[in-house]
Amino acid sequence: MSVSTDFTVAIAGAGLSGLCLAQYLQRAGVDVHVYERDPGPFVRRQGYRIILDRHGLEALRESLPRPLYRLALATGDEPGGHLRFTDSRLRNAFTITFKDEPHATRQVDRLTLRSILLSGLDGRVHYGRSAAAVERGGPHGLQLRFSDGRTTAATVVVAADGIGSALRAQLTPDAAPENTPMAGIYGRSPLRQHGESVIPDALRTSGVLALAHRPGRAFFFTSMRFGESPRDAFARLAPGSYAPTGDDYVMWGLLLKQEEVPTGVHGDLLAMRDLAARMSVGFHPLIRRLVDTAELDATVLNLFATGRRPRRWAIPNATMMGDAVHAMPPFGAHGGNTALRDAALLGHHLVEARSNGEPVEEAIARYQDEMVPYAFHAVDTAATLMRRLTGSAPAPHWILTRVLPKLHRVTVPEA
């Protein structure tokens, strides 16, 4: 399809939503460029998996060329499985079971998804470009300014620059995210150690949230098993694109209070893993083993925040997607799915306006009017779930950790 450059879209941030929108627009023949602060595509490990629900999968299906969507499904884990809530000794409180239909909720490896989203965008993703401001003027009406003083002209600017968005204060004044009391240290550990899976059969297809008796402490883990090896699947469906290794792993997260995170730990891999090890004393031996065998360079510390509903959109031809506008704590697996949903929705409205000759600011306003209700419903759901599970709402925590586990058998015997 030929690309006309009289209408050009500049996206700040090559994360999930930025790349998904770029795929959508490129497929529709719209001139689109993505500007990313990182110096290259795979400089961070991004080593964890992500659960894609029906919204995330639908957005990918609408945005990606068919072979790339098939690649996401082929390399993902098997659909279905369970989410188990247990006490710290892995005694079941209750279990949620997911449907195992072909397009139902499934886990995908984040690095693999990133490589899929980058496929075919050659020359459209520009690295080492840190967005700093949106200005009116230039040949297309707007200019995106970078921290090094350079600018690029655009008809539409989209901020997809994540939770620390540099453009948010300008585009949605008064909508800075609110801090929460909670934080998470995330890691990954090899699934197979000494030739055997570290996860017992009973938990093979389960994510597990183990709640400590002490409110405000919990441990999450789940194994990521690649359906087809990325090397084979990429060779078949996206030859020439980078295929990650495809070694199965366990992704885990220790949830703790922000006040328990000593200053100076952020960015220090060893200190973060040591903190996770100290805080997981008292949990089941399987959990402690996961922390002890973690791959150091995949350790990440996140301070959880919740987005605030924008009251005003300051520039009609500029908008925002994903964590930049609706950050949420990672409870319920909505953040990335909502970001992907934004991308497909904005892409749809921009392409429709172009083909009907409608003003682009009306398309953007329609996107914002539809996005805010579903996105902030997800923010509220994630924040409520965090409060219930981490103990700031005491009654459910007590039932989950003290009452229900006593009614169930031990899931994983302790050695």
Ligand X SMILES: Cc1cc2nc3c(=O)[nH]c(=O)nc-3n(C[C@H](O)[C@H](O)[C@H](O)COP(=O)(O)OP(=O)(O)OC[C@H]3O[C@@H](n4cnc5c(N)ncnc54)[C@H](O)[C@@H]3O)c2cc1C
Residue 81 as a binder of ligand X (CB under 6 A): the answer is no
Identity of the amino acid at 174: D
Among the residue ranges 60-68, 239-247, 320-328, 397-405, the one whose residues contact ligand X (CB under 6 A): 320-328
Q: What is the DSSP letter of 302?
A: E
Among the residue ranges 31-39, 133-141, 168-176, 369-377, the one whose residues contact ligand X (CB under 6 A): 31-39
**How many residues make contact with ligand X (CB under 6 A)?**
34
What token pair was written down for 384?
Answer: 């409520």
Beta pairing partners, 32 = 9
Residue 302 as a binder of ligand X (CB under 6 A): the answer is yes
- Ramachandran bin of 361, using left for φ above 0, alpha for ψ from -120 to 50, beta for the remaining angles: alpha
Of these, 9, 10, 18, 310, which contacts ligand X (CB under 6 A)?
18
Of these, 336, 347, 391, 405, which contacts ligand X (CB under 6 A)?
336
Of these, 7, 69, 186, 234, which contacts ligand X (CB under 6 A)?
186
Can you tell me the distance from the alpha carbon of 155 to that of 139, in angstroms, rounded to the nearest whole number? 9
Cβ at position 12, least distance to ligand X in Å: 5
Residue 83 as a binder of ligand X (CB under 6 A): the answer is no
Can you tell me the distance from the alpha carbon of 23 to that of 63, in angstroms, rounded to the nearest whole number? 6
Cβ at position 2, least distance to ligand X in Å: 28
Can you tell me the distance from the alpha carbon of 269 to that of 138, in angstroms, rounded to the nearest whole number? 44
Can you tell me the distance from the alpha carbon of 401 to that of 398, in angstroms, rounded to the nearest whole number? 5
Cβ at position 167, least distance to ligand X in Å: 7
Of these, 23, 25, 31, 48, which contacts ligand X (CB under 6 A)?
48
Asked if 142 contacts 134 with a C-beta cutoff of 8 angstroms, the reply is yes
Of these, 59, 60, 131, 211, which contacts ligand X (CB under 6 A)?
131
Cβ-based nearer residue to ligand X, 253 or 310: 253
Of these, 92, 142, 161, 387, which contacts ligand X (CB under 6 A)?
161
Of these, 25, 30, 33, 35, which contacts ligand X (CB under 6 A)?
35
Cβ neighbour number for residue 182 with a 10 Å cutoff: 27
Asked if 55 contacts 68 with a C-beta cutoff of 8 angstroms, the reply is no
Asked if 164 contacts 13 with a C-beta cutoff of 8 angstroms, the reply is no
Asked if 183 contacts 261 with a C-beta cutoff of 8 angstroms, the reply is yes
Cβ at position 191, least distance to ligand X in Å: 17
Closest-approach residue to ligand X (CB) = 15
Of these, 47, 120, 207, 335, which contacts ligand X (CB under 6 A)?
335
Q: Where are the beta strands (DSSP E) in 242-355?
A: 249-257, 300-306, 318-320
Q: Which long-range contacts (CB under 8 A, 24 or more apart) does 358-361 make?
A: 360/7, 360/155, 360/156, 360/317, 361/316, 361/317
Residue 57 as a binder of ligand X (CB under 6 A): the answer is no
Among the residue ranges 65-73, 224-232, 274-282, 323-331, the one whose residues contact ligand X (CB under 6 A): 323-331
Residue 157 as a binder of ligand X (CB under 6 A): the answer is no
Residue 276 as a binder of ligand X (CB under 6 A): the answer is no
Residue 14 as a binder of ligand X (CB under 6 A): the answer is yes
β 196-197/125-126 pair status: unpaired
**Where do contacts with ligand X occur on this chain (CB under 6 A)?**
12-18, 35-38, 48, 50-51, 130-131, 160-162, 164, 166, 186, 253, 302, 322-324, 330, 333-337, 339
